[in-house]
Amino acid sequence: MRIRFWGTRGSLAKPGPGTVRYGGNTSCVEVRTADDTLIILDCGTGAHELGQDIMAQEPQPVRGHLLITHTHWDHIQGFPFFAPLFVPGNVWDIYAPGGMGRRLEETLAGQMEYAYFPVTLEQLGATIHYHDLVEGAFDLEDVHVTARYLNHPGLTLGYRLQVGGALVVYATDHEPHARPPLEASRKSGAGSHVLPVHREDREHIEFLRGADLLIHDAQYTAAEYPQKIGWGHSPIEYAVDVALAAGVKRLALFHHDPTHDDDTLDRLVEVCRGRVAASHGALEVFAAAEGLIIELAEGEGITAPGAERTESAAVDEMGEATVGAAKVLVVDDEPDIVGLLLATLEPEGYRLLSAHDGEAALRLARVERPSLILLDWRMPGKDGLEVCRLLREDADLELRRVPVVLLTAQMGQENISAGFSAGVTDYLTKPFKPAHVRSRVRGWLLRSRQDAAEGRSSNPESP
Ligand SMILES: [Zn+2]
Ligand SMILES: [Zn+2]
């Protein structure tokens, strides 16, 4: 398996003398297997040069797969400039997270509307198949792909690609679930690594488990991160910690911040290597650079551990209608918070219900059987934890399984643990950013729909 970086920058292309070594183009990574399966991860501005390379080197027609993590600009801006899409006879399968209200094809067509671009999507000459994805696994020729939602203010999938014994994980545009990230749970002593309290951080580590190469979001430093919480990107220290905890062999820092020039990235790599040395780990860390090629031996088919949770079909054949009509119950004793959440979710087309205390929430939940409950922790009378415990003991199986997301301003370790043992599915931390709320709600609904279809509980720690 050969991996080549064509774009490593996050957020905005940043060409210039300060970025010549690590590159100024936005996210685009080429993956090619020994059997010549071509997979492209994201289609940022780096896709232009990749397209030129394919046109010059590759026998025509070209067959390829494009896996898009999400449709923020820096991941699709190269799409209209990717030459192999214009050639009749070429066949491309394009995959991206579905369920955001607009299907993939419409989203890509949106950035090619006349006001932005002179060529429309219909004018692309290649045969293009669009696929909406949810969490799960599927095969692209000889590559086994597992997709998992990341924590980002836009519904985003990370991809785990396995061919034989070679395993690469692409996890960009992701931030820690716990606040503060992992730091508090770091164990001291030789060979120490983190054991996060937040279930979603633990499952993220399982998703990365055993990777030969992990390409991970590393946009900020721990010092920069407090100003950037909710923007959906990781501090480099978190990338190192999760890579160590997951037993990863090589970590490529990725999605470089536009303000981090080459010299800054050199320093950040040293910081990361120091962190690995301090924990006596064996992880190799480098910063992804445009043009860099990594070869991984495919060897025999040894299945790496981890990521078992999502071994269901990821290609979304159920469509987004079920999620579009989903009932969401919002519970908070502060009317302003309820109003804000309802206003944020209203354009998504959900059927929204609200309550202002625990008793009312329980009554409404039993009558309406919502698909998701956003539940304030601190309320007079029955608080969020108590309501959640009662739901988990309810006679109605649907209420026992409904995802319950606790709204809280406090994310201490004890708080996180208390919530999960009460059967809470996840947390949403105040203050919220609307884009973050929308993408997380969509993710919880899609995940629980998958879980229900496969008879699995969204709340593994509940009875
Ligand atoms: Zn990005
Ligand atoms: Zn993004």
Query: What is the tens place of the pLDDT at every residue in 3-42?
Result: 999 999 999 999 999 999 999 999 999 999 999 999 999 9
DSSP 8-state code for residue 412: -
Residue 47 · residue 28 · CB < 8 Å: yes
**Cα 83 to ligand 2 centroid, rounded to whole Å:** 24
**Cα 72 to ligand 2 centroid, rounded to whole Å:** 5
**Cα 17 to ligand 2 centroid, rounded to whole Å:** 25
Q: Which of 291, 323, 279 is nearest to 453 (CA)?
A: 323
Mean pLDDT throughout 404-433? 89
**Cα 431 to ligand 2 centroid, rounded to whole Å:** 20
DSSP-based three-state secondary structure for 147: strand
Does the pLDDT value for residue 188 go beyond 80? no
pLDDT per residue over 423-435, tens digit each?
999 999 888 889 9
pLDDT per residue over 70-99, tens digit each?
999 999 999 999 999 999 999 999 999 986
**Cα 230 to ligand 2 centroid, rounded to whole Å:** 11
Residue 62 · residue 54 · CB < 8 Å: yes
CA dist., res. 260 & res. 288, Å (int): 13
The closest ligand to the CA of 218 turns out to be: 1
**Cα 165 to ligand 2 centroid, rounded to whole Å:** 30
Please give the pLDDT value at position 266. Answer: 98
Does the pLDDT value for residue 261 go beyond 80? yes
**Cα 459 to ligand 2 centroid, rounded to whole Å:** 27
The strand pair at 284-287 and 250-254 is best described as parallel
Mean pLDDT throughout 339-352? 94
**Cα 163 to ligand 1 centroid, rounded to whole Å:** 26
pLDDT per residue over 103-147, tens digit each?
888 888 988 998 988 989 889 999 999 999 999 999 999 999 999
**Cα 75 to ligand 2 centroid, rounded to whole Å:** 7
**Cα 392 to ligand 1 centroid, rounded to whole Å:** 37
The closest ligand to the CA of 42 turns out to be: 1
**Cα 78 to ligand 1 centroid, rounded to whole Å:** 13
Percentage with pLDDT > 90 across the chain: 76
**Cα 165 to ligand 1 centroid, rounded to whole Å:** 29
Identify the residue with better confidence: 179 or 329. 329
Mean residue pLDDT of the chain comes to: 90
Say if residue 61 is preceded by a cis peptide, omega within 30 of 0.
Answer: yes
pLDDT per residue over 208-229, tens digit each?
999 999 999 999 999 999 999 9
Q: Which of 177, 195, 198 is nearest to 186 (CA)?
A: 195
Tell me the whole-structure pTM to 2 decimals.
0.92
CA dist., res. 209 & res. 162, Å (int): 12
- Ramachandran quadrant class, 163 (left: phi over 0; alpha: psi -120 to 50; beta: rest): beta
Does the pLDDT value for residue 184 go beyond 60? no
